[in-house]
Structure 1
Amino acid sequence: MRRRGFFALGLAVAACATGCGTEGSLGGRAVNAAGLSGRFAIVPGAGRWARVAKALVKTARDAGFPISGTPPVTRITVTGLPALAATELNNGLSLLDTATPLARLTGQIEVVVVPAHSKFATFDQFGAQLVAHPDRTPLTGGPQGEPDHLLFGLIAKGLGADTRQVDYTGFPGSEEATAALLGGKAAAATGTLADWRRAIGKGQVRVLAVSSARRVDGVEAPSLLECGVRVDFADWCAAVGPEGMSEDGKAVAIRLCDEITESASWRAACRAEGWTSIPLSGDDFEQWLASEIGRTRAVLRDLGMLDTADTTCWGSCAQGH
């Protein structure tokens, strides 16, 4: 596998989740007709989640939760899959160790694309090439270790290809990945549907498959599941609270997240931004997050980016995994 300039994300998820200062954070006393009360701030764990955090604040206001900047407040941090992967790559503690999982919020569907005149007419043809020659099938997308790279790792593993031989070049943005694909430097690329819509609309690329469990309206391509790859994948984000939240505080925060994600205002915000609402909260979300940590750790190991062979224990493991 080629390792071209992977830079760990400085997302500081643990610090934010435990109440670090974040410029521009929004807080307020959550009180509405349901009788919920508590003082909260909703902050992004990094700039990439700023729009989600802003939408959460607006929707909270629409639902009757006053938002102000008056301390003291309990931080609700918006974070996601890239931060989880970066933590694993840096041998850090997982979100289960450094934060209180509250709710999954949104996901962005990813696509596998090829140039319009690619020899690969179908995903099956691309998959056959990847299995036969993983080291001679150049792939591209976002930075190494981030969701685009993870998806290609999951695809390779699902097809039975030698995952450690996958030839992947990551770029900091979708424009650079698009240029590499259209310039003949890559055979295929992954990325969010939102990032590739323009190139798709202009007829520059074709979609071979989508990463969701079902087909996507307006996209003429099968799901990976239809193609025989047992992968249901999204670049997701979620809300977490500080480590060690009281059970009462956690319950109120989860109720707040539930009210927001069930509201018409939130659904409208997701439609406007092109996000897929994938709400899951409380114990169900915590169990899902544990499995997602395991899956992410496993694919990073399969790609040769982690040395540990253990994919079942968390950051607090006595062995230091």
Structure 2
Amino acid sequence: MRRRRFLACLLATSGIAAVPLAAGCGTQRVAGRMPGLRARFSINPAARRWSHVGQALVGAARAAGYETGAGTKVTVSGLAAMAAAELNQGQTLLDAATPLARLAGDVEVVVVPDNSRFKDFDDFAAHLVARPGETLLAGGPQGDPDHLLFGLIAKGIGADTRQVDYTGYPSSREAVAALLSGQAAAAAGALADWRESLGAGRVRALAVSCAHRVPEVDAPTLLESGVRVDFADWTAAFGPGGMPDDAREAAVRMCEEVTSSTGWLAACRAAGWVSIPLSGDDFVLWLAAEAGRTRAVLGDLGLVDSVRATTCGGSCGNGH
């Protein structure tokens, strides 16, 4: 099956968030396989929340030998945009844009106050199963990755997902304040947003969302805790809709080269991201599966009409 027909089949069955494609700082380099031809890319974040990733991608591209300039637009977007499109029944990225490559992700952490009655994740899970409506949870805005993670956890441990009592806050600072003031029993968020409180001993980590333990965090993974969830608040690169094959292939090659570079890996380490590169048709397949999982958990939480169910789905790289 030709690639365009293959993508068309996926477009008919998948839902992913759309974002505007805007011009801005870009990159160019002589294409390695086509001497004399220059591929130029303009890399931009779809929204403010992805600006740091966009800047890191541009910086790593320059360090890898690309020059700034106009050219094919590449937009950095992520999981939050996918969820927003599902919530708002908006046009999806698979409809409006061309998936190029997955880039990086934020590891999420489940935390409780240091003096919490929950001694470990098992205590927390038991309470959530027995009294989901009385286990007050906090994190980012409703439907954002933090909320999705709690939905996946509730589903994974057999709690009544629609009874989950979750309050979303506009910023991580407000979620921290809610947890420490007793307005929530547990919270979820990007590990980077909780490092200060963890380091100060004000909160304890019950579990991390990734497949492998984080060295500086004294907490098991969700998989170790019996929850079949491997999760990251991921970001990815997209081209404009209707992107010609040769332009797409050049953009995919650029993403592959940059995300394997020492500059990119150093930027990820400095920001606390995990580098999770996946490109081309493999990324398209993963993205379709991730869209299904996102739609399913939003349905489980009662936020959208969806009956499709998954467990690890698209984000799990371990075959669960």
Quote how far apart the aligned CAs of 1:30 are. 2.8
Q: Is residue 2:83 matched to residue 1:79? A: no
Per the TM alignment, residue 57 of structure 1 is displaced from its structure 2 partner at its CA by 1.1
2:82 maps to a residue whose letter is: L
2:276 corresponds in structure 1 to: 278
Q: Would you say the 8 A contact 1:86–1:145 is kept in 2? A: yes
The one-letter code of the counterpart of 2:93 is L
Distance 1:209 1:147 in 2: 16
1:219-298, aligned counterparts within 5 Å? 219-298=217-296
- Counterpart of 2:199 in structure 1: which amino acid? G
Q: Is the Cα–Cα contact under 8 Å of residues 31 and 64 in structure 1 kept in the other structure?
A: no
1:178 aligns with 2:176: yes
> 2:29 maps to which residue?
30
Superimposed CA distance per residue, residues 103-146 of structure 1 (whole angstroms, 9 cap, x where no aligned partner): 00001100000000001001001000000000000000110000
Q: Which residue in 1 is equivalent to 2:61?
A: 60
- Aligned equivalents of 2:194 and 2:33: distance in 1? 41
2:296–2:306 CA contact under 8 A, matched in 1: no
Pick the aligned partner of 1:202 from 200, 203, 213. 200
Distance 2:228 2:206 in 1: 16
Q: What whole-Å deviation, never above 9, does each CA across 1:179-202 have from its counterpart, x for those lacking one? A: 111111111000011000000000
Q: Partner residue of 1:14?
A: 18
Shift of 1:34: 5.6
Shift, 1:32, TM fit: 5.4
CA contact (8 A) 1:31 1:66 kept: no
Q: What residue in structure 2 maps to residue 152 of structure 1? A: 150
Task: Name the amino acid aligned to 2:40.
Answer: R
- Map of 1:136-151 to 2, 5 A cutoff? 136-151=134-149
* TM value normalised by structure 1: 0.88
Distance 1:29 1:177 in 2: 41
Residue 95 of structure 1: how far off its partner (Å): 1.6
What stretches of structure 2 of length at least 5 have no aligned partner?
1-16, 311-320
Q: Is 1:217 aligned with 2:215? A: yes
The Cα shift of 1:273 comes to 1.1
Match of 1:307 among 305, 308, 314: 305
Q: Compare 303-312 and 230-239 and name the one that shifted more.
A: 303-312
Q: CA deviation at 1:310?
A: 5.3
TM-score, normalised with respect to structure 2: 0.88
When the two chains are superposed, the root-mean-square deviation of aligned CA atoms in Å is: 1.7
In the aligned structure 2, how far is the partner of 1:295 from the partner of 1:15? 20
> CA separation of 1:140/1:15 partners in 2, compared to 1, >3 Å: closer, same or farther?
closer
Runs (5+) with no aligned partner, structure 1: 1-12, 313-321
What secondary structure sits across from 1:208 in the alignment? strand
C-alpha distance in structure 1 between counterparts of 2:212 and 2:26, whole Å: 37
Measure the CA separation in 2 of the matches of 1:16 and 1:255: 23
Output aligned runs, 1:104-119, within 5 Å. 104-119=102-117
Aligned residue number for residue 3 of structure 1: none
In the aligned structure 2, how far is the partner of 1:58 from the partner of 1:138? 41
